[in-house]
Structure 1
Amino acid sequence: MSASREELLPILGRRNAGTPQGTGLGARHLVAFMLFLCLAVAYALRVILSVAIVAMCRDCGDDKDINDDFPAYDWSSKKDTILSSFFWGYVVTQVPGGIVAQRVGGAPLLVASLGLTSAVSLLTPLAADGGWGWMCAGRVVQGLAQGLVFPSVHTLLAKWSPPDERGRLATYVYAGAQVGTIVAMASSGALAASAIGWPSIFYIFGSVGVAWAVLWFFLGGNSPATHRWCSERERTYIEESLGDTSAIVRPPTPWGKIMTSVPMWSLIIVHCGQNWGFWTLLTEMPSYMNSVLGFELSKNGLLSALPYFVMWILSFVFSWTSDFANKKQWLKLTTSRKLFNTIGHWGPACALLGVGYVEEKASAVALLTVAVGLDAATYVGFQVNHIDLSPNFAGSMMGVTNCAANIMSIIGPLLVGVLVPPEEQSNPEAWRVVFFLASGIYFVGNLLFVIFGSAELQPWNTPRETRGNDEEKPTEKSEQDGNENSS
């Protein structure tokens, strides 16, 4: 691209954003597909232990459908510590991951992240023989590695997704988390009960992760300008639709303005509420289904995966509905983000209240499915809101909110261990407190997002020294036009 053309990008972007040129399959869709697979593998590697530990720790449940040819461990008092230890490392690398992703790009970080996580998975059976402390150490290392994933993915989405396609591309990518969870939970129980036993869970998914890292090395790319198979037409379309040269050469991160932004703090709070409810369910649902509902391990994995299958399906329903409503201008973008986030938080909050009182298996599974499934609406709620506020610094912002949110992911499972000790695992009343607490946190987090959240492009997205004199203070109309193109 010539220098004169780069100077015209902001003007061209305002004029041509949302135009149909560049439609059709292209390199951005290949990158989005690879990011979808990235999240699928990443989530599979982090959730397989939730199912496998029921087989690894015989006194963690009363399941008879287990292959006795493989070792079992006396970890009943350490189960929740092991499950939460992933997040001890995960929170540490969130903010550094966002900063590094902005400087060197997200592509190399994803190779390093998935490669290291997969290597540790392959070594997990050996670590288990060493004791629960080695299991925690391995999970901490996996958490450190995976802390780079979401800041890197957000950085890449900000570079690859035209505003008119942002909601859909982001949803397709995020949906990988549910696919990975579905596959991992549905297959882990069957693998643990099979002739190859629970170690095969870690060997198989670890090998898949290594394969993805190799594939991404050849197919991934930091930006349209550096991708080997991105056509000139598609590159022009993406860059002009983004309409901001600071997306190519980024100014220093305005940390002071970011951390004093009210919409940013509403994002931090709602993300914390999301992670408390979501990860409490994700890590503890297999134990609840085994201990309270009485499902055997091979059925437990399938039923634990059902809510995430529903969530995956609904993610497409919500994303297309959101895009359609935004294009028809039925809702302002800020209203749309808040509406869908309310569905994704207050819907599960109501369902969890019901879970605490039902005793019939089918009803409990149905309500858990609703609680997890409606969470898909948050993809076009708070999760894409980082890019709405600041495409230039979305990676760093995701690092900050994800760091704070995953402190909740540590506290949640540990608190479950206190509220539901080993001797109370089969007591529905003990689990009722867990569900009520998650419901209340969902409600409060979303309420604050509804009151203080925004989808308007923030002035600090492009610091003053990088803007022209006529752009020092964006007008209300220009911000609204930009937001109408963001979905």
Structure 2
Amino acid sequence: MSSNNERLGENLYLLSKIRVPTPSHTTSGLGYRHFQAFLMFAGMVFSYFLRVNISAAIVPMTQPPKYRATAYYDWDNGTRSLILSSFFWGYVAAQFPSGILAKRYGPKIVLSMSTIFCCIVTVFTPWAAKIGGWQFIIALRILAGLTQGAVYPCMHTLLAKWAPCTERGVLSSVVYSGAQLGSATILLTSGFIIDSSWGWPGVFYISGALCLIWAVAFQLFGADSPEVCKNISKEEKEYIQALTGGQANTQAMTIPWMSMFTSLPFFALIAAHCGFTFGFYTLLTEIPTYLNHVLKMDVKSNAIFSALPYLAMWMLSLIVSPISDALINRKYLSVTASRKMFNTIGQWVPMVCLIALGYMTSENKPIAITLLTIGVGLNSASIVGYMVNHMDLSPNFAGTMMGISNGLSNILSICGPLVVGAVVDDESNPDEWRIVFYITGVVYLICNSLFLIFGSGVIQKWNEPTAEWCSRNTLNSNVSLDNKLPSVPGKPY
């Protein structure tokens, strides 16, 4: 009996490697996976409302109002840097636990509940500033970071289940482009909100309310995977199952910690993630201050030009992702080559732009805005570089891997505003900002070099369950052989 079980497990292990060809008609039309991608995209938009609102509001919070009696606080640059970085203290701490919770309980409930709590924290921020000062603000930002730490591990867990490998670049880019659109939208509209009767507190009230609406909608209409979704067609479900590379029942699978942490491709992915995160969040938190003090822009024009680079990043992400998928699907580039090429575009072109930006002054506003827009905009190429690489290496553990890499990389997010606070003593001095941009460029250079040398787009052996796991779970009826050999859909959906 044991030998039969062993053979059955070995057969299932081999069957798990089978990839069903993708007929052209299976990718035509919109399916339920696209509706799920839209929900995730909206979630990214609103989650970035919650994390970027402080960057948009910190300037008017610390300047005397020109037109109305809105409260303001005389916080120095060091205090402002602490406030801007405090979100990431909680954010880093939440990454690893969030990946585990998403795997164990399902990403939908973890993401929805954490978002609702963050909305409550956000709405109370103006009151916290009034009652407890900057110390209370930091406490709330840490709590916001703890709740928002669930976003990327949960999104990656969902995408690993919902995005077929032939559409992985496009669907992932659509979802994660919500980060750029959310950043751009909150920065663009913040100037008008601040100039309204709401004042700067309105930035927190509006962002919190909108995100709360999304969390309720996602709890009602979202689904952890095609297997548990009641509204998806049988044909689409089988198509997704065949082309995701993951197992239907990953909650019972043991995480291969030793194999994961001895994997050079995974460490290369972490390095690339660190480079992107340091550059992206340093600019995200500091651009409004730079535009205000170096380029001498007022609150409203500051908001518009702060948003412009992220609008460019959002639009370019929707352009580079189909190009990446087309290059892979038509065999012009391997997955590995594509990931490395686009990640290099996404980190080394911005590196050059930032170094040039350090030599700009208020007399060079058009050139400075152009460099800033190109540099941040081309960060979008990294979405089809390192960002989807977790799913390339291990679809079964993509969420856990994202929790690890995002947690480690966001330690640098904490460092970004603190570096600015330590280096920039006179916020109107472009020479001091030049040092910040050089530091960011060096981080980009080193991290992407490691990804070029050691990175991979090939699925790793430790993604697959052992023969013993397959045998045990099949005998317990938790894994269906039918799920590994789906029929080819006969109609578009």
Instruction: Tell me whether 1:26 sits opposite 2:31 in the alignment.
Output: yes
| TM superposition shift of 1:105 | 1.3
Equivalence map 1:33-112=2 (5 Å): 33-58=38-63, 66-76=66-76, 77-112=78-113
CA contact (8 A) 2:99 2:154 kept: yes
Structure 1 runs (4+) greater than 6 angstroms displaced: 7-10
Length, aligned pairs only: 457
Q: Which residue of structure 1 aligns with residue 446 of structure 2?
A: 444
CA contact (8 A) 1:12 1:240 kept: no
Equivalence map 1:88-487=2 (5 Å): 88-129=89-130, 130-242=132-244, 244-245=246-247, 247-248=249-250, 250-359=252-361, 360-421=364-425, 424-465=426-467
CA contact (8 A) 1:246 1:466 kept: no
1:341-369 deviation digits (Å, cap 9, x = unpaired): 00000000000111011220111111011
| TM superposition shift of 1:102 | 1.1
Letter of the 1:370 counterpart: I
Structure 1 vs Structure 2: percent identity of aligned residues? 44
Distance 1:443 1:187 in 2: 34
| TM superposition shift of 1:467 | 7.4
Distance 1:124 1:139 in 2: 8
C-alpha spacing 1:15/1:409, structure 2 compared with 1 (3 Å): closer
Distance 1:58 1:244 in 2: 52
CA contact (8 A) 2:129 2:137 kept: yes
| TM superposition shift of 1:21 | 2.7
Distance 2:21 2:101 in 1: 29
CA contact (8 A) 2:260 2:266 kept: yes
Distance 2:332 2:408 in 1: 34
CA contact (8 A) 2:279 2:444 kept: yes
Distance 1:318 1:156 in 2: 22
Distance 2:470 2:127 in 1: 59
| TM superposition shift of 1:104 | 1.4
Distance 2:185 2:30 in 1: 27
Distance 1:431 1:36 in 2: 33
Instruction: Tell me whether 1:16 sits opposite 2:17 in the alignment.
Output: no
1:282-313 deviation digits (Å, cap 9, x = unpaired): 00000000000000001101100000000011
Letter of the 1:389 counterpart: L
C-alpha spacing 1:209/1:99, structure 2 compared with 1 (3 Å): same
RMSD of equivalent CA atoms = 1.9
Letter of the 2:126 counterpart: P
CA contact (8 A) 1:67 1:197 kept: no
Q: Which runs of 5+ in 1 are unaligned?
A: 470-487
CA contact (8 A) 2:44 2:175 kept: yes
1:191-234 deviation digits (Å, cap 9, x = unpaired): 11222211111111110011001111111010112122112221
Distance 1:230 1:391 in 2: 21
Distance 1:347 1:265 in 2: 23
Letter of the 1:276 counterpart: F
CA contact (8 A) 1:18 1:163 kept: no
CA contact (8 A) 1:348 1:372 kept: yes
C-alpha spacing 1:354/1:131, structure 2 compared with 1 (3 Å): same
Distance 1:15 1:46 in 2: 40
Q: Which residue of structure 1 aligns with residue 476 of structure 2?
A: none
1:378-421 deviation digits (Å, cap 9, x = unpaired): 01100000000000000010000000100000011011001012
CA contact (8 A) 1:67 1:192 kept: no
Distance 1:230 1:31 in 2: 10
SS at match of 2:114: helix
SS at match of 1:432: helix
Distance 1:222 1:9 in 2: 24
Letter of the 2:166 counterpart: D
C-alpha spacing 1:105/1:23, structure 2 compared with 1 (3 Å): farther
| TM superposition shift of 1:147 | 0.5
Distance 1:10 1:312 in 2: 40
Distance 1:263 1:123 in 2: 42
SS at match of 1:39: helix
| TM superposition shift of 1:466 | 5.0
C-alpha spacing 1:14/1:373, structure 2 compared with 1 (3 Å): same
| TM superposition shift of 1:165 | 0.9
Instruction: Identify the range of structure 1 (211-220 vs 237-246) with the bigger mean alpha-carbon deviation.
Output: 237-246
Distance 2:400 2:388 in 1: 14
Letter of the 2:339 counterpart: R
Distance 2:442 2:243 in 1: 41
Distance 1:123 1:10 in 2: 54
Letter of the 2:424 counterpart: V
| TM superposition shift of 1:132 | 0.3
Question: If the length of structure 2 is used for normalisation, what is the TM-score?
Answer: 0.89
Distance 1:236 1:265 in 2: 33
| TM superposition shift of 1:250 | 4.4
Letter of the 1:446 counterpart: N
Instruction: Identify the range of structure 1 (68-77 vs 126-135) with the bigger mean alpha-carbon deviation.
Output: 68-77
Letter of the 1:68 counterpart: R
Question: If the length of structure 1 is used for normalisation, what is the TM-score?
Answer: 0.90
